Amino acid sequence: MSPSTSHPDGPRPRFFAVVPAAGVGARLGADVPKQYLEIAGTSLLAWSLRPLLRAAWIEQVLVVVAPGDERAARACAALAGGARERLRVVAVGGATRRDSVLAGLLALDRDPGCGGHDWVLVHDAARPGLSDSALARLRDRLDGHPAGGLLALPVADTVKRAGAGGEVAATVPREGLWLAQTPQMFRFGPLRAALERHPEVTDEAAAMEAQREPVLLVAGERRNFKVTTRDDLDMMAALLGDARPADEEAG
């Protein structure tokens, strides 16, 4: 699938990305929000932005931070190359992920004027292991889909439900269970409506599900995990520590 190919029903939809980065990352227990922790001298936020900026088919990447946050501008300044011109930082983040993503959608609606049929990819600011191939696979699998979908992994381990005192209450069948990842990619109009109507959701797919919209699961990769704990940070450092970002190699 070529992103420049004409759509049978008219002009091909455009692609935008929203990266909510207004959280504090309390579970990791660091002195700064986790998206600003560094691996190999580069913040998790910058690592997470790189594959989005390398994807020339994404017209704009919008980072949503908390009001008064000055760290994001410094983290983004470390990104090399002309792709940085497609990057915007807006300090309109809210108390929850849903609030920040919705604020980002409203910002896209104002400038550059996102159409209802356009695509929006929402990616975690602390999920730096996204590969170019997984990102392209998400785009290609959702080509022509009416609503959207997300990267995810089938559950491979046996799942236990805990009871009182930490004892096992039940073994949960893992058939049909998937672990959600990001990006989660949906049509702008339906996603905005879903988030406006369902403020309690914890991710975009849940909002779309609540609207009874079809949501497609697209195979992700194990390396695309979210950094939540210190162990996660150590594992991601082992994956990325010796990597030289492709945008820097390109100069």
Kindly state whether residue 2 falls inside one of the protein's structural domains.
no
Structural domain for 43, as ranges = 15-126+182-214+225-245
At 89-118, the pLDDT tens digits run: 999 999 999 999 999 999 999 999 999 999
Kindly state whether residue 206 falls inside one of the protein's structural domains.
yes
Here the CATH number for the domain that contains residue 86 is 3.90.550.10
Residue 74's nearest CA partner among 107, 33, 46 is 46
Kindly state whether residue 164 falls inside one of the protein's structural domains.
no
At 33-79, the pLDDT tens digits run: 899 999 999 999 999 999 999 999 999 999 999 999 999 988 888 78
Determine how β-strand 178-187 pairs with β-strand 119-122: antiparallel
Residue 49's nearest CA partner among 100, 14, 84 is 84
Kindly state whether residue 173 falls inside one of the protein's structural domains.
no
Q: Does residue 178 register a pLDDT over 60?
A: yes
Kindly state whether residue 151 falls inside one of the protein's structural domains.
no
Kindly state whether residue 205 falls inside one of the protein's structural domains.
yes
Kindly state whether residue 145 falls inside one of the protein's structural domains.
no
- Residue 163, number of CB atoms within 10 A of its CB: 10
Task: Count how many domains the chain has.
Answer: 1
Kindly state whether residue 44 falls inside one of the protein's structural domains.
yes
